[in-house]
Every structure is written in C-alpha cells, then in structure tokens.
Structure 1
Amino acid sequence: MASLLQRRGVSSLLALLAGALTTLTFAPFNVWGLGPVAMAAFYVALQHVNVRQALWRGWLFGVGLFGSGASWVYVSIHDFGNTGGPLAIVLTVLFIAAMALFVMLPALLYRFAASSRLDVPAFAGAWALGEAFRSWAFTGFPWLFLGSAHVSSPLASLAPLGGVYLVSLVVALSGALLARALLSRRWWLLAPLAALWLIPLALPTQWARPAGDEVSVSLVQGDLPQLSKWTPDGQRDAINTYFGLTRQQGLDSDLVIWPETALPMLEQQAMPFLQRVQSTLPADSTLMTGIMQRVQTGMFYNSMIALGDTPGQYRKAHLVPFGEYLPLEPLLGGLLKIFNIPMGNIGAGGNDQPPLQAHGLRLGVAICYEIVYPDLVRQRAESANALVTISNDTWFGHSIGPLQHMQMAQLRALENNRYLLRATNNGMTAIVAPDGQLQARAPRFEPAVLNGTVRPMEGLTPFTRTGSWPTLLLALLMLLGGGILRVKQRNTH
C-alpha cells in the first residue's frame, strides 16, 4: 500500500481528488466529516517528496478544490459579463489555476518539516498559515476555508474561541493524525484524534448574552433580473417592487432592510423615493438600503445608508478586485470591457466607520464579499451588538456560490455571537442566530419579505477580543517545532 502511494502518478491523483473531495464539506453538500479524510489524503500525497513534487501536488490539490468549489465564477463572467463561452472558459480556467497556486505554500512549508517526529502538527500549522496568507495576499480570497464547513459540526464551539483558522487547524490536524495512524499502524494516535472532536463538545458556543428588547425586522428581497436592472425599465421595476413589498409586509417592523444596490441608481436620484417610503413607515421605524453614492470628486462608493431617527452611512471598505476596481488599471484597462463593469471608479471606505443604529441595535456592516473576511467582521463586531450584511448574489445565478457565501456569513455570526441579518436580491436572505444557525430564511429566486425578530447581544467572544493572531501564532509554533526537529535529526545522522 505504501509503495503504491509513493508512485508519482498515484500521489498526484490523490492530491487532486483530495481537493475535489473538500468541496463536499461545504454548502450545499455539508458533509463536513469528509474534511479530515481529504486532509488525510493530502498528507499522504506529500510524503517522501522533494520541493518540486510538493509544489506540484499542492497545486493539484488547489485545482481540485477551486475547480470543483469555485467554478461558479464562470456564471458571473459568461451569463452576466457578456463574455462569450470560449473566452469565459479560458478566464475561469485561469482563475482556478491562479487560485490553486496558493495551496503550494502550505505544501512547501510542510515539506521543510516533513519526516520529523512532529510532522503531524507541522502539517496542520502549515495549512492554517496557508489559509491566512490566502486571505491577505493581493487583497485576499478567503473562500473555501476548511473551517467554514463546520458551523453545525462538533467543532463549532472552536469558532468563537479562535475563529475559522482554529477550526481549520483542528480539521487539518485530524486528517494528519488519521493518515499517520493508518500508515504506521500506530493505533494509539486515534485517541488524540478522538479528543480533538470530543473536547469541543464540552466547550460553550455562547460567550455573549441578550441585552435589550426584541427588535422586529423585515428583510426585503426583490428578485430583480441582473441583466436589465440598470436600464430605465429596470429602475422603474426596482422602485415598484421594493415599494410594493415594503408596503405589503414591512409596515409594522422596527427595521426594514433592502439589499445591496436595491435601487439601481445613485443616492441623489433615489433619495426622494426613499424618503417617501420612509414616510409610509411608522414614525420610529428605520429603513436601511444598499445604494451607490457619488461624491464631488467623481468617485463612487458602494454604500449602505440608514434613514429615520438615526441616519447614517457605511461605505464598503474591502473592494473586490476585477469586480469593483481594476488592479493596475493603466495596464489592464481593456478588461473593463470584458467584465462589463458599469462603474470602474469605485472607492474604498475607511476601516473605522461606526455602526449603523436602529432601536437599540448597533449594526456592524459588511457589504457582500466583506462578510467572508473573519478579522474584518470581528473589528465591526467589537463596537456592535448585531451584524448586518447585504449582498447581490444574482451574479452567480443558480450555482453553489451563494450557498457557500451564506455558510461563511453564518460562521461570522458564530465567531462573534451576534445576530446577523442578511438581505440579498434573490437569496439567500436570512436571519442568523448568535450560534450560527439559520433562525429564518426566505425562499430563493422569488420576491419575498422575511419578517422576524432579533435582540442586541452583550459581551465579546475570545475571538472578537483577540482576533486570529493567537491561532496563527500557535500554527507558526507547530510548524517551527517540526522544522527545527527535522534539522536536528539531519544533523545527528
């Protein structure tokens, strides 16, 4: 068996299949138990390799992961970007190949600690550090992290303790322990493996507590077609749709929330209509909506504004490369036409923006893609007692992308023990409880209003207090321990 696995072709195929298997742990499949299995297979594929082979198998794992789990970018490029099929396929393949490069880093890091007596924890540390690097490099792509699949698994209590990286660390460590037990037949390694999954069951998932009265909320989902949204007819449809849905079911709510760019127009154009809608709500109700703002300099901002007794605004701080701004625009300006970006001159808001307020809620805001960044949302949660995220996942059609996006939003609620309100154009619109579970959700791909209640939460989780650095420091120590021991072993021979 061991000799078979050491063959180049077999190990390369194993790395590729391990990456593809990882996708099944995420929504909508939710087979989170396959996470350690996939990591075990990847650990085996990295045994007895040189640097070049480690890089190659790391890249193959990434191809399997992103090829199966993030190929939904094709829908955005082809269906909504007015890009022809062949070119859309080429761009999707390039995206997958580029994202797979990031998995080469943990494979390389592990290579320098492999074959030591501490190579099992070193493997887990390398994986966690690799995920952290991917969330930062080139503005980051923190999608398909191992820990994101474990909102409802026995490891869920680790999220408020150390965030998604701690969960990923434990999943990777579990896989390495499983593989080492099977390869060396050291069955006693199954004892620490079991402990990794049993101990979290004794830990609390709730570190915060309700503090304040219930607030009634209505999340409005217009289900407007993306391709015609910004046309004059599309603008009229948006006005009629959101006004009609709000009048129909949102009149008694303390807080009414519309999604990202609910009205496809600038704030100056939309404000008379928004004020009219606000006037139809009870005197103490608050209307919040996503809207595009334009300032005197000509810069655009993807924003969320609040109308009512406590007006306010939030401008998206973390923009999407190639979606909301173009890196190296002087060199790559032609790509604007390929991706059909209607507003390429979008600016970033500051990182110190205050929460939006309504009825005792201090709402930390994340617009669309921002919700997938654990430390960004943690910063918002420090000064907030609830979270809100608005999105327009229409760009991804009926693919699995929006379901993965929702799962990551659930983990942000769990990490910070905050209610999370998520309003989208066509789903998933949902109210998430502080334990990360869906309290209520609207049907997808149809106009709807989701009514419910939330409460402000008081108290901070360990993760909200400290962020990711304790987990990443632990991961670094695990990696260094294996690396140092390997150096000592080589010097003694």
Structure 2
Amino acid sequence: MRWITHPGWPGNLLAAVAGALTTLALAPFNIWPLAVVSLALFYVGLRHLSPRQALLRGWCYGFGTFAAGTSWIYVSIHTYGGASALLAGLLMLGFIAGVALFFALPAWLWARLLRRNEAPLADTLGFAALWAGQEAFRGWFLTGFPWLYMGYSQLDGPLAGLAPLGGLWLVSFSLALSAAALCNLPRLRSHRRSLTAAALLLLAPWLAAQLLQGRAWTQPAGKPLTVAALQGNIAQSLKWDPAQIDAQLELYRDLTLRARRTDLVIWPETAVPVLLDNARGYLSRLGDFASNRQSALITGVPIRQEVDNQRRYFNGITVTGVGEGTYLKQKLVPFGEYVPLQELLRGLIAFFDLPMSDFARGPADQPLLQAKGYQIAPFICYEVVYPEFAAGMAARSDLLLTISNDTWFGTSIGPLQHLQMAQMRALEAGRWMIRATNSGVTALIDPQGRITERLPSFEVGVMYGEVVPMAGLTPYLHWRSWPLIGLCAVIFGWALWHRRKAGQQLPAATAVQ
C-alpha cells in the first residue's frame, strides 16, 4: 500500500497498471468492476503527493490507459500507413505520451487546489468533479480525443440507467464518486454523520441507476422500418486503388440488386470510392431501382464543393430513392482525414500522404437526412464518439445512423470499442441506431443500447432487421451536460472556498517525501 500512496517509481508503475485496467473494463472485455478498481487506485495514489509528484503520477496513469487501450494506432500507422515498425512504434509512443497529459493536468490541479486530506467528503466530491471535467475537456481540446471514457464500462453494467438521464459523463462522474467514497469509508469509521454521508454518496448513483434501468424515455413515432445494411469487406490496400474502383462499385450494386426489398438500404463510409460528381449516373440508376421498391438508399461518398472560390473535398453521405439529403462530415480524424501542419509532414512517410487525408470540415447545423418521411441523424465514423455533438443532432431526429470504415483497425480491439460507443449514443438518445461498416461491426442497436442484429466481421454480407422511429427526448437530450457542469462548478467553488477558509497549507508543504 505504501508503494501506491507515496512518491517514487513503484507508485508510478502501479499507476500505469491501474490505467491499463481501463481497457479491461471496456469492450471487448467488459469487466466493468475494474473501472471502480482503476479509479480507486488512481485516487489513493494521489492522496499524499505534492502537486509536482501528482503531475507525474497522473501522466503515468494516462500513459498506461492509452498504451493498453489504443494499440490499434500502431496497426493503422504500420500496416495501412506504410511506416516501418520502428517509426510506427515511435509515433505511437509519442501520441500516447501526449494524450497522457490529459490526466497529468487534472492530477496536478486536484493536488494543488482541491485536495483536503482532513475532509474526506470534500475530497471525494472534488475528485469526482475533476474526473468528469477531465473527460469533457479531453473531448474538446484541439478537436478532442474522446476515446476510453470510463463511463462506457457501464453499458452492460449497473449504472447504465444513468446514461439517458445525464449522458456518459454522468456515469463517469458516478464511478469516480463511488471509487473515492469507497476509499474514504475506513477514514470515517469514527465519525458517524460523515460515514453516513459517504455511504449515501457511494450508494446513491447505483440505486438511482437501478430504478431507472430499462425505463422508456421515448416513444415510437411510426411503424417499424425494414433495413438492409451492406458490408463489402473491401481490403484497405484496395480501397483507393484506381484499378479496383469498378470492382467495388459492382460489388455494392450487385449486393443491392440481390437484396430483399426493404425500406432502407445502407452502404458504409466511402462505399462509393469516387467523387459524387463522377458517380451521379451510377447512383441515379440505383436510386431509380430503390424508388421502384419504395426504398431509400443511403451511402457514404466523397463530395467536392466550391467554398470561398476554392475547391474543397468532404467525407459525405448522400440519399437517393425515397429520400433526400447530403451530409458533410464535421468531426475529422487527425492524420487520417486531415494532416495538421501538413506543409511540414506531407512527404515524410506514406501515412501522411493517404488519398483521403485532405478532407475539409463540413459546416455546423446541417439539415438531417430524410428517408421514408423520417429524419435521420447521420454520423460518419469518428463523429459518433462525441457525446455532446451526437446529442445535438439526435435531438432533432427519429433515427440514428453511423457509417464507418473500421478496416483501419485491423483485427485489433478498436472496432469493438467503436461499436460500444455507438451503443452508448443510442442509449443516451433513446433511439434506434443503424451501424453500417466496411468490414465490421455492422449492427442494429435498440434504444437501450442492445445489439439486435449483427454481421460477422471481415465477411461480405447483408444484414437485415427492423428499426423503429422514435419521438420524444431523454433528459440528456433535453438538458445535455449542463446540470452536470453546474454541479461540478458548484463542487469546485465550494471546495476552493472551504480550503481557503480553513487556511490549509499547500500540499507541497505537507506531502510525504
């Protein structure tokens, strides 16, 4: 225990191990109790450190989290980006070291401003508020990296009922609150009133979640719609090969012509690997076929538009047949769809010269897609991992749709993590989600975040199923994260005020050296 709570490399190593437990708490392992264990180890490991020591401890925790949970980055850079094994490893380590700072800064802030070792309840609340703030900040700063949020561990866990109430970050807040409260119970055994309060903080989220579990916050807005989602399983090495374009177009055409008659036919991200301008004849013929079947065909396709007298390229979705609309992707993947500092980086390795890495960002407040008389909120790949962004579009929709090309992840855990995030968006919104991918995981997800239909990965196939348009708003879609933001702000202010009032010395002066 001394190794965990005191400075030095043993404690830092244990912090990295604690961070790595996050991966086991999430898909595909889903050992959800490890989320509480990971947070508890992190909390205990910070409790007696100076701010500078806490900074390093937080960075070690973050390094362990992302080293274990984002191994698919190496696959993307080495296998599909053309970088050598050594260079891919160095780039991955550099990325992990950078994003680990998202945990270092909150650890420093908590040790410097919020920690009150003589007031365990304030300590507990401050830690939970700062954890939620860290996750929200990580999803915003420099376009964000909203991956490996702790709340995803509860998709099949006891706290899932909180997601429609306050979103993913309320679940994460509750996990951090429970972990810190659990750690503080032994310190409060001689203080009955404080012990009772700590027990309430520990139990309240779990009891509330159980009461809300399975509650229907939204209602059907029409009859079920039949769906056919196509999975072409195009190898990434062939995806943008000019010699393979005709074969890909023929594959999706033939799968569509042979498919059962359904209301919606969904193709994955960039299933049409040519510009929309060049594919209009092809899509028009398939649109006529869909119209004759009273179907809407929705596909991913690159789109070229003139913006401010400049030719720009977008990752997009278009609808033909019994529907209309075009959507341009807003949340782009750094290096995958655009290259920061591209004047310096392009040409260094093939990864920075990928043919799809020069996309522009689509405008905000775009209209939703329309199909069969319903409003569909579209998300292309990475966009579905942004809770607040997705909530804004979901609130205007009847159905949710995400299309992706997770072939970049290979056979790593990345596609299953991505699927879990899409499931959480469906649960938060109380709406059906259609997920169509190039190689997996293609699935239908119900308003409780449960998978109802699914195709095996790395196979060519068509997934059939039904979805139901939904009306009404969950509390999260109505209020978003503002109640949680307000609560965290009050906790911050209260903790700072009490600390100043008590005249507590800075942790640097009292830390165990």
TM-score normalised by the shorter chain: which range applies?
A: over 0.9
**Cα drift, residue 485 of structure 1:** 1.8
For 2:58 and 2:240, how far apart are their aligned partners in 1? 42
* Distance change (3 Å), C-alpha of 1:441 and 1:172: same
* Matched residue, 1:247: 257
CA contact (8 A) 1:391 1:424 kept: yes
Structure 1 residue corresponding to 2:185, chosen from 181, 187, 198:
181
Percent identity over the alignment is 45
* Matched residue, 2:295: 285
* Matched residue, 1:459: 472
CA contact (8 A) 1:223 1:447 kept: yes
* Matched residue, 1:399: 412
CA contact (8 A) 2:345 2:352 kept: no
CA contact (8 A) 1:55 1:108 kept: yes
CA contact (8 A) 2:23 2:65 kept: yes
- Deviation string 1:427-472 (CA, Å, 9 cap, x unpaired) is 0001110111111111111011111111110100111112112212
**Cα drift, residue 335 of structure 1:** 5.0
- What aligned pairs does 1:110-129 form with structure 2 within 5 A after superposition? 110-111=110-111, 112-116=113-117, 117=119, 118-129=122-133
* Distance change (3 Å), C-alpha of 1:3 and 1:418: closer
**Cα drift, residue 308 of structure 1:** 1.4
* Matched residue, 2:510: none
CA contact (8 A) 1:366 1:389 kept: yes
**Cα drift, residue 184 of structure 1:** 5.8
1:298 is paired with a residue whose SS is strand
* Matched residue, 2:229: 219
**Cα drift, residue 145 of structure 1:** 0.6
CA contact (8 A) 1:218 1:253 kept: yes
For 1:335 and 1:137, how far apart are their aligned partners in 2? 26
**Cα drift, residue 300 of structure 1:** 0.5
- Deviation string 1:56-107 (CA, Å, 9 cap, x unpaired) is 0100000110000012100000000011111000001101111101111221
**How many aligned residue pairs are there?**
492
Structure 2 residue corresponding to 1:199, chosen from 176, 197, 208:
208
1:362 equivalenced with 2:375 (yes/no): yes
**Cα drift, residue 323 of structure 1:** 1.5
For 2:189 and 2:238, how far apart are their aligned partners in 1? 61
**Cα drift, residue 7 of structure 1:** 4.8
1:482 equivalenced with 2:495 (yes/no): yes
TM-score (ref. length: structure 1)? 0.95
- What aligned pairs does 1:47-446 form with structure 2 within 5 A after superposition? 47-111=47-111, 112-116=113-117, 117=119, 118-182=122-186, 189-190=198-199, 192-203=201-212, 205-249=215-259, 251-281=260-290, 282-296=292-306, 297-335=310-348, 337-446=350-459
1:295 is paired with a residue whose SS is strand
* Matched residue, 2:486: 473
Unaligned runs of 5+ in 2: 507-513
1:299 is paired with a residue whose SS is strand
CA contact (8 A) 2:295 2:321 kept: yes
TM-score (ref. length: structure 2)? 0.92
CA contact (8 A) 2:162 2:208 kept: no
CA contact (8 A) 1:413 1:435 kept: yes
2:236 is paired with a residue whose SS is coil
2:379 is paired with a residue whose SS is strand
**Cα drift, residue 240 of structure 1:** 2.1
2:139 is paired with a residue whose SS is helix
**Cα drift, residue 336 of structure 1:** 6.8
For 2:269 and 2:429, how far apart are their aligned partners in 1? 23
2:367 is paired with a residue whose SS is coil
For 2:270 and 2:187, how far apart are their aligned partners in 1? 54
1:388 is paired with a residue whose SS is strand
CA contact (8 A) 1:114 1:483 kept: no
**Cα drift, residue 474 of structure 1:** 1.3
**Cα drift, residue 10 of structure 1:** 3.3
CA contact (8 A) 1:122 1:481 kept: no
For 2:419 and 2:265, how far apart are their aligned partners in 1? 20
Letter in 1 for 2:225: V
For 1:4 and 1:69, how far apart are their aligned partners in 2? 22
Letter in 1 for 2:338: Y
- Deviation string 1:185-231 (CA, Å, 9 cap, x unpaired) is 57754454233212211125421111111111110000010111212
2:311 is paired with a residue whose SS is coil
* Matched residue, 2:511: none
CA contact (8 A) 2:240 2:355 kept: no
CA contact (8 A) 1:71 1:96 kept: no
2:25 is paired with a residue whose SS is coil
**Cα drift, residue 488 of structure 1:** 2.1
CA contact (8 A) 1:16 1:60 kept: yes
For 1:245 and 1:3, how far apart are their aligned partners in 2? 59
Unaligned runs of 5+ in 1: none
CA contact (8 A) 1:304 1:313 kept: yes
For 1:430 and 1:345, how far apart are their aligned partners in 2? 29
* Matched residue, 1:9: 9
For 2:479 and 2:131, how far apart are their aligned partners in 1? 21
What's the Cα RMSD here?
1.9
CA contact (8 A) 2:217 2:472 kept: yes
For 1:8 and 1:182, how far apart are their aligned partners in 2? 25
CA contact (8 A) 2:233 2:460 kept: yes
For 2:4 and 2:273, how far apart are their aligned partners in 1? 58
For 1:53 and 1:92, how far apart are their aligned partners in 2? 25
Moved more, 410-419 or 293-302: 293-302
For 2:189 and 2:26, how far apart are their aligned partners in 1? 30
For 1:491 and 1:295, how far apart are their aligned partners in 2? 60
2:126 is paired with a residue whose SS is helix
Moved more, 399-408 or 359-368: 359-368
CA contact (8 A) 2:314 2:359 kept: yes
CA contact (8 A) 1:411 1:436 kept: yes
For 2:321 and 2:254, how far apart are their aligned partners in 1? 19
1:20 equivalenced with 2:20 (yes/no): yes
For 1:4 and 1:437, how far apart are their aligned partners in 2? 38
Letter in 2 for 1:27: A
CA contact (8 A) 2:83 2:349 kept: no
**Cα drift, residue 239 of structure 1:** 1.5
Moved more, 172-181 or 482-491: 482-491
2:272 is paired with a residue whose SS is coil
* Distance change (3 Å), C-alpha of 1:321 and 1:7: closer
CA contact (8 A) 2:4 2:41 kept: no
